[in-house]
A and B are shown apart, each in its own frame.
Chain A
Amino acid sequence: MMSRGRFRAAALVLGALACAGCGGGHGQGGRSQVLRVPQSYRTIQAAVDATRRGDLVLIAPGVYHESVTVAAGHPDIVLRGLDRNRVLLDGQDRLGSGITVNADGVAVENLTVRHYLVNGVVWQPSDQYGSGQSLRGWRGSYITAYDNGLYGVYAFGAVHGRFDHVYGSGQPDSGVYIGNCNACHALVVDSMAEHNQVGYEATNASGDVSVLHNVWTHNRVGVEIDSLRKEPGFPQRGSMLTSNRIVDNNDRGAPRAEDGGFGAGVAINGGSGNQVADNLVSSHSEIGIVVLDSPDSAATNNTVQGNRLEANALDLALETANGLSQGNCFAGNQAPRGGPRSVPGRLQALTGRSCGHSVATGHNRLRLVPAPPQLDYRTVPAPPPQPNMPAAATAPAAPAVGNPEREAVG
């Protein structure tokens, strides 16, 4: 017999379900629908396959052992969990990725993906290399991704999108990743990653990439911005990392990637025209912020300005192959005592208020840090419950159409 408390809860849920998806229809020739899992569709995949433009797939609490693909023929839909911490897509360490989105305009909200062999949630066009077309419109909100074999949330070859309120932990690459886009028109905001090789990583992500108000902590490396010839979209230029809290990225309890570094807050690896401004960068065993040439390209015209630096073994560094500043600028960065620390005699970073006087070191002057031993990502402890999106049961579907990176973040 159902207790009164449970009955009341069930009634509330039913009422909420009845309301979910009201308004905000994007359907062609009809209202958007709410496709309920498992009430109406036993699996998430079955519901996705039945969607039309503007529909909402609403997933009840439960554990789903699925690897879901949103094919290109199902654009402009929303996949939403009713409870971020109780809607669990679980790959059982044998399925590939949790959710793979190949369609334009798809939002994934308010659920957890864990224990997949590869990635948690991925946005990527279905034929990236053949067509050269980007996926247009993507959004990941209130997603928890942990203990997946490579990345937590991942947008590759996708433009006009955002991650907000995402949490990633226990990935041997990055918790949050954006790559291969130009111009990306991407926003990462109010998110957090810990216990990964890298908290936030962007490779060949160029043009209108804003990373704001996030927390990158207790990873092996906090933030990495790469320009790599071996991947599409080379070279990287023009992203902005502002007002983030980048703290204590020296976690030996995080799994590592091939050639993974350790003990750094921010690394710009060969990129150009990036801005690192007004962040708190603290407590790194090797270095706070470093700008260096990648094997493929010179780091040029990057600006590191107005950051607060605390308790890093080395606060700032610029390492270029030719020993010149290459237009990179360090200015107005604050440290509690005596200005930012840099390699004495070889490497100087400006503590003044203007750019243009940086002195760089030659290549390979920074010490190579042996990476602490590998750790099985499957053993990283599960994170604590994360905040749910507001009104998950009743909020209308809002597919990632238009410019999600410019819309108000709920």
Chain B
Amino acid sequence: MRKRAGAMCALLICLLLAGCGAQQRQTRTSTTGARATDAQVLMLAQVLESDFRRGGAQFTANLQVDGQPARATGRVDFRSGRGTALVGPVDPSLGPPRRFFWTRTTVLAQASPGSRHYLREVPDEHGNPVHAMIGFINLLSAETIDNTANISAATPRLIGQTRIAGAPVDEFRYGRNGDITLWILTGSGLLRRIATTRASGGLTVDLINHDPIKIDLPRTARG
């Protein structure tokens, strides 16, 4: 049996941000830039599939934890859904970072900074900002292409061209209230950066590269 229904609604719109729920008919505010062309919509539809095909990525993320800016550096295997990240406050005086591992169903949190032991946590994407980040990263890949029909309906807009770490990228914005922004590497069509304003304090994830990644989980998980 199917574990959950799987109409491939636009994943970026629907799964990440619940942007096409009952409130989808609110007025959009993402009115800057030019409406994406059919070719650009098709490219957006292939972003998550491209991540999956490439296998994995190293990433950095900026998030808010307890009202303080935090930063994560890690790796994710898009094929298996496993990942790991070191997460800590941007201001090191506020405390050392902790390591997390995850699968599609479980989060393993370092018992204390530097510890070899990990505690198994039930994913809580609404109450735990690190879990929310993990959930977000887990949705950055898909086995199949996204649906251009749904992406078009969310009126994606090309904001402009810019550079990230010297590489040219195209910046797109769409979703409910224009609350998701993607920077796509010009030429390759690979996702370089994605940001959402929906997460408390905002969340930005940079994919540094796109290569196969293998994640070994710690053997000392408890709970």
Q: Chain A residues in contact with chain B, CB under 8 A?
A: 67, 69, 96-97, 100, 117-119, 122, 124-130, 132, 149-151, 154, 156-157, 172-174, 177, 179, 197, 201, 203, 221, 224, 226-232, 234, 255-264, 267, 269-270, 286-287, 290, 292, 294-295, 366-369, 374
How far in angstroms is the closest Cβ of chain B from A125?
Answer: 8
Q: Select A295's contact among B4, B18, B24, B155, beta carbons within 8 Å.
A: B4
How far in angstroms is the closest Cβ of chain A from B64?
Answer: 24
Q: Select B2's contact among A127, A132, A269, beta carbons within 8 Å.
A: A269
With A117-B46, A129-B155, A366-B1 known to touch, is A259 a contact of B7 (CB < 8 Å)?
Answer: no
With A124-B153, A231-B9 known to touch, is A258 a contact of B148 (CB < 8 Å)?
Answer: no
Residue of A nearest to B52 (CB): A258
Q: Chain B 158-202 against A: per-residue CB contact (8 Å), 1 yes, 0 no?
A: 000000000000000000000000000000000000000000000
B140 within 8 A of A: no
Contacts of B18 in A (CB 8 A): 229-230
How far in angstroms is the closest Cβ of chain A from B35?
Answer: 11
CB atoms of B7 and A173 under 8 A apart: yes
Contacts of A129 in B (CB 8 A): 20, 24-25, 28, 153-155
Within the assembled complex, what's the spacing in Å between the Cα atoms of A286 and B20? 32
Contacts of A97 in B (CB 8 A): 148-149
CB atoms of A261 and B7 under 8 A apart: no
**9 A-B pairs with least C-beta separation:** A261-B2, A226-B5, A128-B153, A203-B7, A230-B14, A132-B25, A96-B42, A259-B6, A269-B5
CB atoms of B38 and A67 under 8 A apart: yes
Contacts of A173 in B (CB 8 A): 6-8, 144
Contacts of A174 in B (CB 8 A): 7
Contacts of A255 in B (CB 8 A): 144
Contacts of A259 in B (CB 8 A): 2-6
Is chain A's binding surface mostly helix, strand, loop or mixed? loop
Contacts of B28 in A (CB 8 A): 129-130
Q: Select A294's contact among B5, B8, B143, B153, beta carbons within 8 Å.
A: B5
B60 within 8 A of A: no
Contacts of A369 in B (CB 8 A): 1
Residue of B nearest to A366 (CB): B1
CB atoms of B6 and A258 under 8 A apart: yes
CB atoms of B143 and A231 under 8 A apart: no
Contacts of A263 in B (CB 8 A): 1
With A129-B155, A264-B2, A366-B1 known to touch, is A150 a contact of B24 (CB < 8 Å)?
Answer: no
With A229-B22, A232-B24 known to touch, is A221 a contact of B149 (CB < 8 Å)?
Answer: no
Within the assembled complex, what's the spacing in Å between the Cα atoms of A369 and B150? 29
B109 within 8 A of A: no
How far in angstroms is the closest Cβ of chain A from B179?
Answer: 13
Within the assembled complex, what's the spacing in Å between the Cα atoms of A49 and B200? 47
With A130-B155, A267-B2 known to touch, is A228 a contact of B7 (CB < 8 Å)?
Answer: yes
Contacts of A151 in B (CB 8 A): 147
Within 8 A of A (CB), among B26-42: 28, 38, 41-42
Most buried by B among A157, A258, A294: A258
CB atoms of B25 and A257 under 8 A apart: no
Contacts of A227 in B (CB 8 A): 5
How large, as a class, is the contact surface on chain B?
35 or more
23 intermolecular pairs with C-beta atoms under 8 Å apart: A96-B45, A97-B149, A100-B149, A117-B42, A118-B45, A119-B147, A119-B149, A125-B153, A129-B20, A129-B24, A129-B28, A173-B144, A177-B7, A201-B7, A203-B5, A203-B7, A203-B9, A232-B21, A262-B1, A269-B5, A286-B1, A290-B1, A367-B1
B119 within 8 A of A: no
Contacts of B8 in A (CB 8 A): 150, 173, 257-258
CB atoms of A374 and B143 under 8 A apart: yes
Within the assembled complex, what's the spacing in Å between the Cα atoms of A262 and B38? 34
6 more A-B contacts (CB under 8 A) besides A259-B3, A262-B2? A118-B45, A157-B153, A172-B144, A203-B5, A229-B22, A261-B3
CB atoms of B149 and A124 under 8 A apart: yes
CB atoms of B1 and A264 under 8 A apart: yes
Contacts of B5 in A (CB 8 A): 203, 224, 226-228, 259, 269-270, 294
Most buried by A among B2, B25, B142: B2
Within the assembled complex, what's the spacing in Å between the Cα atoms of A101 and B91? 53
Within the assembled complex, what's the spacing in Å between the Cα atoms of A221 and B2? 8
With A96-B42, A259-B3 known to touch, is A230 a contact of B21 (CB < 8 Å)?
Answer: yes
With A230-B9, A230-B14 known to touch, is A118 a contact of B3 (CB < 8 Å)?
Answer: no
B15 within 8 A of A: yes
B111 within 8 A of A: no
Within the assembled complex, what's the spacing in Å between the Cα atoms of A270 and B3? 12
CB atoms of B1 and A229 under 8 A apart: no
Contacts of A125 in B (CB 8 A): 153
B145 within 8 A of A: yes
Contacts of B142 in A (CB 8 A): 258
With A154-B149, A230-B9 known to touch, is A118 a contact of B2 (CB < 8 Å)?
Answer: no
Most buried by A among B6, B147, B153: B6
CB atoms of B153 and A230 under 8 A apart: no
